Amino acid sequence: MRFALSFFFLAKVCLADVASYISMEGPIAKAGVLANIGTKGAKPGIVIASPSTIDPDYLYTWTRDSSLVFKLLIDQYTRRIDTTLLNQITDFITAEGILQGVSNPSGSVGEPKFNVDETAFTGPWGRPQRDGPALRATAMMTFANYLISSGNISYPANTIWPMVKIDLDYVSANWNNTGFDLWEEVDGSSFFTIAVQHRALREGATFATLQGDNTRAATYNTQAANLLCFLQGFWSSSSSALIANINVNNGRGGLDANTILGSIHTFDPAAGPDAITFQPGSDKALLNHYTTVNSFRGSLYTINSHIAAGQAVNIGRYKEDVYYNGNPWYLATFAAAEQLYLAIYQWEQAGQINVTSTSLPFFTQLVSSTTVQNYPSNTPGYRTLISAVFSYADGFLELAKEYTPSSGRLSEQYLKSNGTQTSAVDLTWSYASALTAFFARNGTILGNAWGAKGLTTPCGPGATVSITFLETATTMSGESIYITGSIDALQNWSTSTALPLSSTKYPVWSITLDVPASTTFQYKYIRIRNGVVTWESDPNRSLTSPASGTYTERDTWR
Ligand SMILES: *[C@@H]1O[C@H](CO)[C@@H](O)[C@H](O)[C@H]1NC(C)=O
Ligand SMILES: *[C@@H]1O[C@H](CO)[C@@H](O)[C@H](O)[C@H]1NC(C)=O
Ligand SMILES: *[C@@H]1O[C@H](CO)[C@@H](O)[C@H](O)[C@H]1NC(C)=O
Ligand SMILES: *[C@@H]1O[C@H](CO)[C@@H](O)[C@H](O)[C@H]1NC(C)=O
Ligand SMILES: *[C@@H]1O[C@H](CO)[C@@H](O)[C@H](O)[C@H]1NC(C)=O
Ligand SMILES: *[C@@H]1O[C@H](CO)[C@@H](O)[C@H](O)[C@H]1NC(C)=O
Ligand SMILES: *[C@@H]1O[C@H](CO)[C@@H](O)[C@H](O)[C@H]1NC(C)=O
């Protein structure tokens, strides 16, 4: 009883601690974000990464950082949390429209960084970076959808859609090329980049339909399916984690806050805790959180060395980091907390926590008696897990509090030796990451649904792809073209149940079929007139379906 009471007392003190930190830091973080827009020589709407001009010089504008920051402000505006932000938002859109047109060393909107006076930065850099256009499109579409829902059709159609098209056409055409990751160091395929590109194209397909562009909607959908398939390849069951960068051999283990950031920035409040998009509450994202957080435990950072397993630690980018000797970053520590608050939201919505063998290590570090089972929300076991996860998440904020100076100002990093701030002062993204974590903690959901709900196996066993068969054939009156072939979807070579093509674009006959992905099969066209079947000449046609997406096959009768 004594123990229980003192435990309760301690828990209360911690809760109060975090609440007081949030009430102090929240307004400072908001002011910190706003102070870095259109300042220090920057044009209106231009976000500077930090006012720091030496060691390091961050007085530039990055498409990624600016878009993440404005997504937060747009969310606050469109949810009527802060109705004063309209001018900043339209200034941002105007500024980004100018930057889209600035000729630059990448030769595309994949250019990561510009001078604050809206001219090109021409020095050497890790370019291109393909997350920026996706994040910018997401931010702008969030604003456009709000305007449309409040009856403002023209600005979304005439100003936002032309810009979104440029960004999404770029993503659609280039996602399958390597580029630099969000830390601007690795030229490969980065989880964060692929995840935010997938999201942007999904919501982009819906937005394109709304703008009456069905051709782009179809293209974005096809590429989104391909991206979702590719995204699965970042999961490594042998590492018990998402690997941050693939298609590159950089000598790193692959554990990186990149993946936690990817999960929180693709959170979809309408989706469940789904593993297919690595939603924050999914078993894979939780095991990834466990493994990634563990990589920062022990002696890597002196300020973590006294912290026991199962308790929050200070988080950096990745353990092999040597930038400023490798330290914890505020935005990474905040992200570790935010993923867990968002996970709690998803479990509350789902009315259960489904502990699987994948997520078990995450839960047993907090509640050792956890087993693989479903914990419905009306059971004590569920409440125990929720409060353990909530306290664990709060632990990350307590560390941020411990290493926030009394001024409340947040730099980029704090020293691994003693927590003193280092690198760029007043980092805009540090402030934004504090705010998104604070909002997630009190259940104020800022994110919008983007289409993650209900997505299923995009590739691998059981996946299907849509193939359109086009057969050019002139026919006699009363004669029709059919297809049959070696697989179930093509009727196992049956002529009596062969599938009829449509002749709406005669002499091109067409049919679109769902067939198993990555499968080689044979087929032929037949013509049938008055029950008489005529086969195409040999050999049988052969086709291998793609791993994902859609495909069009063009044939001519022979
Ligand atoms: C639509 O929104 C834009 C951006 O805020 C604004 O400039 C414009 O006046 C609005 N138009 C209407 C018809 O409300
Ligand atoms: C391109 O996509 C294929 C199919 O998903 C994948 O195997 C390959 O690694 C990708 N390459 C890059 C650079 O994205
Ligand atoms: C829990 O997850 C497992 C594995 O993904 C799944 O087979 C099972 O149907 C889920 N149970 C519930 C109640 O959602
Ligand atoms: C923290 O460590 C740095 C570098 O090791 C040192 O310069 C600084 O004085 C230390 N600060 C405190 C408060 O101990
Ligand atoms: C939730 O947190 C945010 C950020 O700290 C704060 O601005 C907001 O007032 C809080 N809302 C509620 C309902 O507590
Ligand atoms: C095709 O053959 C498979 C395997 O014999 C069978 O299961 C399936 O029902 C057949 N499908 C059709 C459409 O005949
Ligand atoms: C075409 O496939 C059918 C069914 O498997 C087979 O009987 C026939 O011999 C094949 N034709 C040729 C030319 O290989």
pLDDT, averaged per 10 consecutive residues of the chain (558 residues), comes to: 40 75 98 98 98 97 98 98 98 98 98 98 98 98 98 98 98 96 98 98 96 90 88 96 95 96 98 97 98 98 97 98 98 98 98 98 98 98 98 98 98 98 98 98 93 82 83 96 97 96 96 88 97 97 83 93
Residue 283 is among the residues annotated as catalytic for this protein:
no
Q: Give the distance (Å) from ligand 1 centre to CA of residue 271.
A: 31
Tokens 């949030």 sit on residue: 22
CB 178 within 8 A of CB 248: yes
Q: Is 125 marked as a binding-site residue? A: yes
The predicted pLDDT at position 5 comes to 38
Tally Cβ neighbours within 10 Å of residue 2.
6
Nearest ligand for residue 354 CA? 3
169 a catalytic residue = no
Cα of 493 vs its chain's centroid, Å = 43
Half-sphere exposure of 314 (CA within 13 A, CB side): 27
Q: What is the rounded distance in angstroms from the CA atom of residue 224 to the CA atom of residue 217?
A: 10
Q: What is the pLDDT of residue 517?
A: 83
Tell how far CA 77 is from the center of its chain.
22
428-441 helix and 63-78 helix, angle to the nearest 10 degrees: 40
Which residue in the list 118, 169, 184, 185 is annotated as catalytic?
Answer: 184
CA angle (336 as vertex; 332, 338 as ends), nearest 5: 110
- How is 401-428 classified by DSSP, letter by letter? HHTS-TT----SEE-TTT--EESSSS-H
Mutate to test the pocket of ligand 5, among 341, 394, 444 (most ligand atoms within 8 A of CB): 444
In whole angstroms, give the CA distance from residue 66 to residue 219. 27
C-beta of 189 in contact with ligand 2 (< 6 A): yes
Query: Could you tell me the distance, in angstroms and rounded to a whole number, from the CA of residue 354 to the centre of ligand 3?
Result: 6
Q: In the prediction, which pLDDT does 460 show?
A: 66
Atom of ligand 2 lying closest to residue 194 CA: 14
Q: Using an 8 Å Cβ cutoff, are 231 and 194 in contact?
A: yes
Whether residue 539 has its Cβ less than 6 Å from ligand 7:
yes
Q: Coil, strand, or helix at residue 225? A: helix
Token pair for 183: 């830390």
Q: Is the CB of 431 inside a 6 Å radius of any atom of ligand 5?
A: no
For ligand 4, whether the C-beta of 420 sits within 6 Å is yes
- Alpha-carbon distance of 443 to 532, in angstroms, equals 67
Q: Which of 143, 114, 101 is nearest to 49 (CA)?
A: 114
Of all atoms in ligand 7, which is nearest to the CA of residue 493?
4
Residue whose CA lies nearest to ligand 4 atom number 1: 418
Distance 16 CA to ligand 4 centre (A): 29
Question: Ligand 6 atom closest to Cα of 487?
Answer: 1
pLDDT at residue 549 in the model: 67
Helix (H, G, I), strand (E, B) or coil at 285: helix
Instruction: Write the burial class of residue 428 (CB in 10 Å: 0-12 exposed, 13-18 middle, 19+ buried).
Output: buried
Instruction: Copy the structure tokens of residue 477.
Output: 């009156």
CA neighbor of 259 nearest in space, from 196, 314, 192: 192
pLDDT of 14 reads 66
Q: Is the dihedral of CA 377, 383, 389, 390 positive or negative?
A: positive
Hey, which of 356, 360, 456 would you mutate to test ligand 3's pocket, going by the most ligand atoms within 8 Å of its Cβ?
Answer: 356
Buried b (16+ CB within 10 A) or exposed e, 75-102: bbbbeeeeeebeebbebbbebbbebbee
What global pTM score does this model have?
A: 0.83
Task: Using the mean position of ligand 6's atoms as its centre, give its distance from the Cα of residue 486 in Å.
Answer: 10
Measured between alpha carbons, how far is 110 from 92 in angstroms, rounded to an integer? 18
